[in-house]
């Protein structure tokens, strides 16, 4: 007996058919009209959105309010442009796009399901058609994360229902969600990556000659890690700094010799202190 399965309705990159090979089809739908990969992809992007929004909002200019008020600058009405750091307009646009994408989707699905939607921040800007366009200026990054989490959480709580549209309007909204949420999340994350990339020293590892990378801390208060790419040895920070100084001394330059002399002096003092 044959078992019929409905393919996922989301766009998929399928391998072109080859002679003698069955024409490829999209994966089977397991969550409404979506396959497991597409369904989990939506959930993952919605879960990432609040943290990404908070991180990007912090890049706008920490502590700088975008709106001046008369009296705040001694009654002149505005501060001198030279006394204020520049605002990162790219970060503003990324945050606004991410939040507005989620907020407008929530409005559409709330109207379709006849359910209340999370309240938008006071003074949020709207476009000509009444849709949300941007957050108010000068919001604390942590609050940005909270308001994005409210919209994303509303969608996540109804994701099973969203993935099983019962009419053309709901199916169209699902397709919009698949495209736009992924695009907004990935664009913000790519433009302002949360994880710093490793930097590499010009000095090779003294043991195997491999590149030594300095990797960013895994969390607040944690030290950076120094590790060789080739042999995977984790290198002590002080030991590596000593290697750098001695390498400078090997060049025979006056600064290098001075640095080596200082390092030898400090090494003797540390040894004497340990023996005492």
Alpha-carbon distance of 25 to 230, in angstroms, equals 42
**pLDDT by residue (tens digit) across 41-65?**
899 999 999 999 998 998 886 444 3
Tokens standing for 160? 């099973």
Query: Mean of the per-residue pLDDT values for the chain?
Result: 77
Range in 90-99, 150-159, 248-257 with the lowest mean pLDDT: 248-257
Alpha-carbon distance of 68 to 270, in angstroms, equals 55
Q: Determine contact, residues 212/205, Cβ cutoff 8 Å.
A: yes
DSSP 173-224: HHHHHHHHHHHHHHHHHHHS-SSPPPEE-SSPPTTT---EEEEPPSSTTPPP
DSSP the chain: -----PBP-S----PPP-TTSPPP-PPBP-BTTB-HHHHHHHHHHHHHHHHHHHHHHTTS-TT--S---TTTTTTSSS--GGGSPPP-HHHHHHHHHHHHHHHHHHHHHHHHHT---PPPPTT-EE-TTS-EEEPPTT--HHHHHHHHHHHHHHHHHTHHHHTS--SHHHHHHHHHHHHHHHHHHHHHHHHS-SSPPPEE-SSPPTTT---EEEEPPSSTTPPPEEEETTT-PBPPHHHHHHHHHHHHHHTT-HHHHHHHHHHHHHHHHHHHHHH-
| Residue-level pLDDT at 79 | 42
78 has a pLDDT exceeding 50: no
- Which has the higher per-residue pLDDT, 59 or 228? 59
- Which has the higher per-residue pLDDT, 4 or 8? 8
Mean pLDDT, rounded, for 178-205:
81
- pLDDT confidence band for 81 (50 / 70 / 90): very low
Give 232's Cβ-side CA count (13 Å radius). 0
Alpha-carbon distance of 106 to 77, in angstroms, equals 38
**pLDDT by residue (tens digit) across 8-41?**
888 876 555 555 555 556 788 899 999 888 998 8
Q: Determine contact, residues 47/41, Cβ cutoff 8 Å.
A: no
| Residue-level pLDDT at 71 | 35
| Residue-level pLDDT at 76 | 42
High-pLDDT (> 70) share of the chain, % = 65
Mean pLDDT, rounded, for 134-151:
93
| Residue-level pLDDT at 77 | 42
Mean pLDDT, rounded, for 166-171:
94
| Residue-level pLDDT at 73 | 36
**pLDDT by residue (tens digit) across 84-114?**
557 888 999 999 999 999 999 999 999 999 9
Mean pLDDT, rounded, for 150-164:
95
């Amino acid at each position: 007996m044959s078992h019929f399965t409905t393919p996922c309705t989301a766009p998929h990159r399928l391998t072109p058919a080859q002679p003698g090979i069955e024409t490829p089809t999209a994966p089977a739908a397991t969550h409404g009209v979506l396959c497991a990969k597409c369904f989990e992809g939506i959930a993952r992007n919605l879960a990432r959105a609040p943290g990404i929004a908070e991180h990007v909002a912090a890049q706008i200019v920490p502590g700088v309010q975008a709106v001046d008020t008369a009296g705040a600058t001694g009654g002149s009405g505005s501060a001198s442009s030279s006394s204020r750091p520049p605002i990162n307009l790219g970060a503003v646009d990324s945050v606004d796009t991410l939040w507005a994408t989620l907020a407008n989707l929530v409005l559409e699905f709330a109207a379709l399901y006849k359910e209340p939607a999370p309240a938008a921040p006071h003074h949020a800007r709207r476009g000509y058609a009444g849709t949300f366009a941007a957050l108010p200026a000068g919001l604390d990054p942590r609050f940005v994360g909270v308001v994005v989490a409210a919209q994303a959480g509303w969608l996540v709580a109804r994701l099973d229902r969203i993935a099983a549209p019962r009419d053309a309007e709901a199916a169209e909204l699902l397709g919009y969600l698949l495209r736009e949420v992924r695009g907004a999340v990935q664009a913000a994350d790519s433009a302002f990556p949360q994880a710093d990339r490793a930097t590499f020293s010009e000095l090779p590892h003294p043991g195997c000659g491999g590149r030594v990378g300095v990797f960013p801390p895994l969390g607040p208060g944690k030290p950076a890690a120094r590790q060789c790419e080739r042999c995977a040895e984790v290198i002590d920070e002080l030991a590596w700094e000593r290697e750098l100084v001695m390498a400078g001394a090997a060049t025979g330059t006056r600064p290098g010799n001075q640095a080596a002399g200082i390092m030898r002096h400090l090494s003797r003092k540390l040894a004497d202190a340990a023996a005492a």
